[in-house]
Amino acid sequence: MAGGVLPELIAFQEAGAPDRTVWVAVIFLLALKDPNTQAEMLLRFSQMLKVEDALAGIRNAADAAAVSERRKALRTLL
């Protein structure tokens, strides 16, 4: 898992609804060794993001080291 905090919001088109715009501040990249685990991984990842203030903590981190620490703490939930 890799992630990044963007300096400005950027627009993405919503998957399945290209007429809807989603403004994004944090991007994650997930890599899987076994494609058969995709559904399980996405479920666990979405549960991780439901942890109170998970995204806010990453987005408001002071620097890259703080983002990395917060991401590592959340990653233990996967």
Q: E strands, the chain, where?
A: 2-14, 17-29
With vertex at residue 76, the alpha carbon angle to CA 66 and CA 27, rounded to the nearest 5 degrees, is: 55
| Average model confidence (pLDDT) across the chain | 83
Secondary structure (DSSP) of 26-53: EEEE---S-GGGHHHHHHHHHHHHTSTT
Q: Is the pLDDT of residue 78 over 80?
A: no
pLDDT number for residue 12: 93
With vertex at residue 67, the alpha carbon angle to CA 58 and CA 11, rounded to the nearest 5 degrees, is: 50
**Per-residue pLDDT tens over the stretch 50-59:** 776 777 777 8
Calculate mean pLDDT across residues 1-21.
88
Residue type, 47: Q
